[in-house]
A and B are shown apart, each in its own frame.
Chain A
Amino acid sequence: MATYQLNVNGQRKQVNVDPSTPLLWVLREELKMTGTKYGCGISACGACTVHLDGIATRSCVVPVSLVGDRSIVTIESMAADPVGRAVQDAWVDKDVVQCGYCQSGQIMSAVALLNATPKPTDTDIEESMGGNLCRCATYVRIREAIKSASQQIK
């Protein structure tokens, strides 16, 4: 066990865990933040996506010992983020979700895309979202919602 000081959604959090614990499980179990999901544990599905220093990161494969003082941003803070909010509103407006389990990760990836590329092409969307799995396959509406959010963002 070791103690880590984490910067989560702008707040300092202290946890005491096995260093090898993936950041995903630190968020979910130590900090009770269950918005970030476990889908596969091998970074193949993207349900666990958070932002580390602004970079979309798959928290299921990053041991907490490798996080350091990088800022961790999770789905829970997206409503307060202008791009995050635009994406969530587009998701609701376009009725994207079905079971919803993958959507935290989809939204985190989409926000990372729009932060870097505010007016993404279809190819940009497909490449950036190409690693996020949705078993309900809501992909058609995900594409539409990203384009819609992109139009809302100044």
Chain B
Amino acid sequence: MILRSTRRKITNIVMFTITGLCTFVAVSVLFFILGYLLWQGGQALNWNFFTKLPAPVGETGGGFANAIVGSAKLLMLAALIGIPIGFLGGVYLAEFGGQTTTFIVRYTTDLLNGVPSIIIGIFAYALIVVPMGHFSTLAGGIALGVLMIPITVRNTEEFLRSVPNTLREGALALGATKWRAVATVVVPAALPGITTGILLAVARVAGETAPLLFTAFGNRFWSPGWNQPTASLPDTIFKYAIAPYEDWNQQAWAAGLVLLSLVLATNIAARLILRRQTRTSRG
């Protein structure tokens, strides 16, 4: 006969193991992804990859240079749209908003956050590509920018709210007006978190493919200015991955490795900086 207490102890150990296994599965997925990409992608990673334009089907030696530059341009544009709206929107929600307007804005932001990225792509197509008459980096950048907004708003609001009221009250007590208090005291206090959030938002949209399918369209050459279609890392990865050409598949792996490394590096760096900042500011 097993004592009730022993049975409870056994349950304890068993559940510990099971939940531990769950964690192990989750963690190992990341290492699997990284490892597989390193193995497959590492083989195709060479100098050509970073400097050459894509080669026609069947010829080796092509590269992803235009996709890398294209992604950079798209992200710049996305940041130009996403950061101001996201940051100032968040400031409004946290500092200036009234009861009802805050509720409406926050609800709308959550709505926008839930919109699948492909639908933002359709939106950008209908609003920008069709009136302009052609695909462009501009359309792609705007689509990505709209994607960035909800993430940035929510993040900014959260970090602004986490600033203790004592700081605000101190500034006001010294005679500052509200906007000066916000601008010179509250925002700087929350800045590490806000910048981290922005970095993470940029990293997040860097990997988005769906909205670019019918806005930036893709390009086999360099894309000058903002008015022409452009290649981008995730879009080219997608096209090369489903292709039946061996060397294209190889390049897709290499590009995947590059994209993932950039995204992960940004994430790790941003979070570490945030941790160090919060630790020193609390100290």
Note whether A and B form a binding pair. no
